[in-house]
Amino acid sequence: MNFCSYTRKSIYSDHSDSIDNQTRMCREYIDMKFPGQVDTFIEYSDEDFTGANTNRPDLKRMLSDIKDGLYDVLVVYQLDRLSRDVRDFANIYAMLEEHGVKFISIKENIDTSTPIGRAMMYVTVVFAQMERETIAARVTDNMIGLAKKGYWVGGNPPVGYVRKRITINGKQHCTIEQDPSGVEHVKWIFSTFLENNYSLQQMETAFKRQGIKTVRGGFFSTTRLHQILSSPFYVEATPEIYDYYEKKGCQMDPGSPREKWDGTVGVMIYGRTTEKGGVHRLQKPDKWLVCLGMHEPFINAEQWLEVQDRFAKNKFDKTMKYDVPLLKGVLRCSCKTLMGVSRKKKKYGVGSWYYCVKRTRQGPEACNSHHIKCEVLDEKMLDILRSIQKDPKTIQNYVDKNVDNQETPDPKKAASKVASCEAKIGRLASSLALAADSTAQKYIVAEMERLDLELQALKREHSIALASERRTAAEKKGTDAKVKEIIRMMDNLDSFSAKEKNEIMRDIVKECIWDGESLFITL
């Protein structure tokens, strides 16, 4: 049987069992419950990752390997190591059942082969989620309390401010204070935006042409400019600003009534953004808690409101007016940056063009690639797909044959080494019985201990070889499936919409790189 274990230690806790301890207990459990039945045992672990979501590298790798049919049994030390979210856990367990993989949780000792066992498993996960949500609620309540007092609770401060530690009633808190050079930088951006009547795209282009860069040395993007120009922390907290946020539907702090908004301090907002999977996203205004801060503002209310009014008038429709290019979201340039798509009139004519986003953002010194017409590269890709349609064996020219460039041992040879080592230990055990009370006894024992360590290493080598063999077989299945999908698309090319063709490309292409002359494809 083929076993795998999954272990996790949260970034928030130093009290949970270590990765090594969890792995050891999983291994000991398997050896005890399945003696002589272990063909392979592979470990997967994620350290400093929360169980609130499945965005964990080794968990994703393990689930992918399970889908490829590499394992018969998954063992975890405790259910919440796998997930603390009921929906995520249910999805994972459904996938395990779909692929015939038995699931074992050591601590709960739950038998999932019975209805009552499965019910108890879900009850346990529900309580794990409740514990996580209770902890998160306590943290949120504490943050809200600090925000209402005007303290800084938002991580890195905006450009123009630096964090400052203060002590109040014997307790340390964090606020922000002005950074003179940053203040002048932000003030200049606000005035430049208004005086030139720029749109964000016009401002980005103008800054690039003039070589104006951010405090970190990169070129400004429209996203970065919008972040600065819409930041609430710069503006004076006046009655007009209070009315602005109240009209947006924000939660206004009852402890900071409108009459207190006299412009002497800045605005503090909690809950304006949320983080998921390492990405910060702006929440809807009804999630924002708007309070009075402790920090000193430096943008007057009239100027700040004029900028926000400009944004409201300049909103644009992001719905694509033209067909999605075949390689959109797939193609990368030689610097490995995902290439964007623009539709502009250039000296070569009107059309859609792939371009390096990094070069656009940071200038030609960051990347030397140039834009290229979408139809040129799309046709190159279709030529490759036509060759595979004509001769399916051609796909081997575009398959990554050795992902890690490491030679794996032959399973049969590895098994032979294991058997040979076990035979040596057996012979030494027989000799030990005959050498009782002999001076040779200690040498025999020492040699047996050395061989035992060698045996464990050989078994590990054998497990890796078997897993590699199964993975190769699984990859062949995946390659065959891609061939069928390519033939299906090319046989019915005209019946697919541009969007559907693009979605197929996203499914079948692992890597697609344009170096300015050649297109490199890995399927």
Tokens 């998954």 correspond to what residue? 74
Q: Tell me how far CA of residue 251 lies from CA of 19, 275, 430, 454, in angstroms.
A: 42, 20, 80, 65
Q: Are 267 and 230 in contact (CB under 8 A)?
A: no
pLDDT band at 146 (very low <50, low <70, confident <90, very high): low
CB atoms within 10 A of CB 139: 11
Residue 455: phi and psi, rounded to 5, are -65, -40
What is the mean pLDDT of the segment spanning 173-181? 85
- Structure confidence by residue, pLDDT tens digits, 276-298: 655 667 788 888 888 888 888 99
- Structure confidence by residue, pLDDT tens digits, 47-65: 888 777 788 888 988 888 8
Tokens 């943290």 correspond to what residue? 139
Q: Are 163 and 157 in contact (CB under 8 A)?
A: yes
Angstrom distance (rounded) from CA 134 to CA 84:
12
In the predicted structure, residue 317 carries a pLDDT above the cut 60: no
Query: What tokens does 7 get?
Result: 């272990």
pLDDT band at 337 (very low <50, low <70, confident <90, very high): confident
In the predicted structure, residue 226 carries a pLDDT above the cut 80: yes
Q: List, in sequence order, every beta strand (DSSP E) within 156-315.
A: 161-168, 171-178, 251-252, 267-270, 273-276, 279-282, 289-292
pTM here is 0.49
How do the residues of the chain divide into helix, strand and coil, expressed in percent and rounded to 5? 50, 20, 30
Q: What is the mean pLDDT of the chain?
A: 81
Question: 8 by DSSP, 3-state: which?
Answer: strand
Q: Tell me how far CA of residue 42 lies from CA of 19, 220, 230, 372, in angstroms.
A: 14, 46, 49, 45
The whole-number pLDDT of residue 191 equals 92
- Rg over alpha carbons for the chain, rounded to the nearest Å, is 31
Angstrom distance (rounded) from CA 255 to CA 233:
18
The whole-number pLDDT of residue 238 equals 92
Q: Are 233 and 193 in contact (CB under 8 A)?
A: no
CB atoms within 10 A of CB 171: 7
Q: Are 99 and 30 in contact (CB under 8 A)?
A: no
